[in-house]
Amino acid sequence: MSHFSNIKTQIRNLTSLKSALTEMGVQWKEGPTSVRGYQGQTRTAEVVVEQKNDYDIGFSWNGHEYELVADLQYWQQPLTVEGFLKKVSQGYAYQTIMSETAKQGFQVSEQKVNQDGSICLVVQRWSA
């Protein structure tokens, strides 16, 4: 019986996902590589976060989005699964916005982190 859980996300851009994890200070390995689980079981993922207990966390493409793949019984992160996904999702959104606005010629003119942890961005573009 598999102990792996697949948790859906709204993450579709691998570059933004990797940047978000890096900004969070999370060490990750580029895949495709194996996510280690219970009794030597593995799953393949495009991004893998190794844990000290030899049970990994991965992000695996399901054809539509990157799902979090892990044996949640052996979760060893400072945040809960929900807290981790919330932080990754916020970082992912930030990285995606920064990338897309830069492509369209916008620059950040103001950035503020609110007390609740949300980020307020003001972008601008000069036209000739």
Sign (positive/negative) of CA torsion 97, 101, 103, 107? negative
Domain count, the chain: 1
Q: Which domain holds residue 10?
A: 5-124
Residue 2: band (very low, low, confident or very high) from pLDDT cuts 50, 70, 90? low
3-state secondary structure at position 114: coil
Mean pLDDT of 65-81: 94
CB atoms within 10 A of CB 88: 22
Average pLDDT on 12-27 reads 95
CA angle 89, 69, 9 (to 5 degrees): 30
For residue 116, the 8-state DSSP code is T
State the average pLDDT over residues 52-65.
95
